[in-house]
């Protein structure tokens, strides 16, 4: 199974029409950790990957993406799996990214690869699923996540709260439930009520039928993220981006995810990034690349870039910890 990632690089001249496009068959895994190496490492790292000879991967196949514009100092990115897509580590990972990319504008592309194409002046519809189907995740019963769900960083679940009375979980393996429109209410009418969600879920939807209002959030990407109001005619739809706290407020005591200890979370993400750059990748870039079928999973440049990457990770961590403790 592949974890395709797309990398777009705008040349230093700033000419969007001359952008370079690369890809990696397994590059979406740990992509947010790669970015903690900072611009001086990441730019040559991306260019060491295989060119995307067949163009852009679509919404279905693309699991992560990066666009670098050194001229405007803009970084666009999203991943579906990694610390930035985990509630307990997202804020810490984004803090570290901002420290590793000083002076750059960092933007999460909730609309996936389509948002990168829009930035370049390309047609976003070219990466849409031509069938336009909505793939609904299965409704989960209280025992479906297993006994260890409370200990997971990112259980594959979306929380759906209805008014102040109902709390449901849907498998986060398809489209976000907001994409179903009001039909999601019919689907959940007889679904098991979990009473109260204390999980660090990946996304959420709150529906207030009495006021005909909808709010939703996610930590990854959803095709057409900014167009969901059209799927709820007659309703007011608010996209909360990654602000899960909005659902916690709207749903009352129905949603209370585990608290996050920020300094510990920063250390967790730092350790993951250090292991990624100092471990198997820093030592065996060339052989792993050959084993991956030439897709650029681990380009030859990794070992040479690893020392600078580790310095960037450590520096970002020190700065983020000082800021978190109010000593910056």
User: Tens digits of per-residue pLDDT, 63-88?
Assistant: 999 999 999 999 999 999 999 999 99
274-289: average pLDDT: 63
In a shared domain, residues 180 and 250: yes
Secondary structure (3-state) at 73: coil
CA–CA gap between residue 24 and residue 8 (Å, rounded):
12
Task: Give the pLDDT confidence score for residue 25 in this predicted structure.
Answer: 93
Query: Domain tally for the chain?
Result: 2
- Residue numbers of the domain that contains 207: 139-254
The torsion angles phi and psi of 23, rounded to 5 degrees, stand at -150, 165
Tell me which of 209, 237, 254 is where a domain ends.
Answer: 254
In a shared domain, residues 106 and 25: yes
CA–CA gap between residue 307 and residue 158 (Å, rounded):
39
225-254: average pLDDT: 96
CA–CA gap between residue 168 and residue 178 (Å, rounded):
14
Task: Give the pLDDT confidence score for residue 327 in this predicted structure.
Answer: 61
In a shared domain, residues 101 and 50: yes
Tell me which of 254, 285, 300 is where a domain ends.
Answer: 254
Task: Give the pLDDT confidence score for residue 304 in this predicted structure.
Answer: 87
Cα dihedral sign for 287, 304, 96, 69? negative
47-64: average pLDDT: 94
pLDDT digits (tens, 9 = 90+) for 147-166: 444 445 578 999 999 998 89
Residue-level length of the chain = 328
In a shared domain, residues 102 and 81: yes
Task: Report, in angstroms and rounded to the nearest whole number, the Rg of the chain calculated over CA atoms.
Answer: 20
Task: Give the pLDDT confidence score for residue 132 in this predicted structure.
Answer: 80
- Strands, sheet with 74-79, edge to edge from the N-terminal-most edge strand: 50-51, 20-24, 4-9, 62-69, 74-79, 105-108
In this structure, the strands spanning 157-162 and 74-79 are unpaired
Among 217, 246, 9, 237, CA closest to 110: 217
Kindly report the three-state secondary structure assignment for every residue of 268-320: HHHHHHHHHHHCHHHHCHHHHHHHCCCCCCCCCHHHHHHHHHHHHHHHHHHHH
Percent of the chain with pLDDT over 70: 90
In a shared domain, residues 233 and 93: no
Tell me which of 231, 254, 277 is where a domain ends.
Answer: 254
């Amino acid at each position: 199974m592949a974890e395709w990632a797309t990398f777009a690089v705008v040349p230093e001249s700033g000419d969007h029409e001359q952008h370079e496009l690369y890809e990696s068959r397994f590059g979406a895994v740990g992509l947010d950790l790669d970015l903690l190496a900072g611009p001086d490492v990441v730019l040559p790292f991306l260019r060491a990957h295989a060119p995307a000879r067949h163009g852009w991967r679509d919404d279905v196949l693309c699991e992560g993406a990066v666009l670098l514009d050194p001229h405007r100092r803009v970084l666009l990115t999203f991943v579906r799996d990694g610390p930035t897509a985990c509630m307990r580590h997202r804020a810490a990972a984004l803090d570290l990214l901002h420290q590793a990319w000083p002076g750059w504008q960092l933007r999460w592309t909730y609309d996936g690869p389509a948002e990168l194409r829009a930035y370049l002046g390309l047609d976003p519809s070219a990466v849409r699923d031509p069938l336009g189907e909505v793939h609904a995740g299965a409704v989960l019963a209280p025992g479906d996540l297993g006994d260890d769900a409370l200990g997971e960083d990112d259980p594959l679940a979306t929380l759906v709260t209805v008014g102040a009375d109902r709390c449901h979980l849907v498998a986060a393996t398809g489209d976000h439930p907001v994409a179903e429109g009001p039909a999601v209410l019919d689907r959940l009418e007889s679904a098991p009520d979990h009473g109260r969600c204390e999980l660090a879920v990946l996304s959420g939807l709150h529906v207030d039928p009495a006021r005909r209002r909808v709010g939703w959030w996610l930590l990854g990407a959803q095709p057409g993220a900014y167009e969901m109001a059209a799927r709820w005619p007659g309703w007011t739809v608010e996209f909360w981006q990654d602000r899960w706290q909005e659902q916690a407020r709207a749903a009352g005591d129905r949603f209370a995810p585990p608290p996050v200890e920020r300094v510990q979370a920063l250390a967790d993400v730092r350790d993951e990034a250090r292991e990624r750059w100092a471990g198997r990748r820093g030592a065996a870039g060339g052989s792993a690349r050959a084993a991956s079928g030439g897709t650029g999973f681990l380009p030859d440049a990794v070992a040479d870039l690893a020392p600078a990457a580790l310095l960037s990770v450590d520096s970002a961590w020190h700065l983020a910890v000082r800021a978190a403790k109010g000593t910056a």
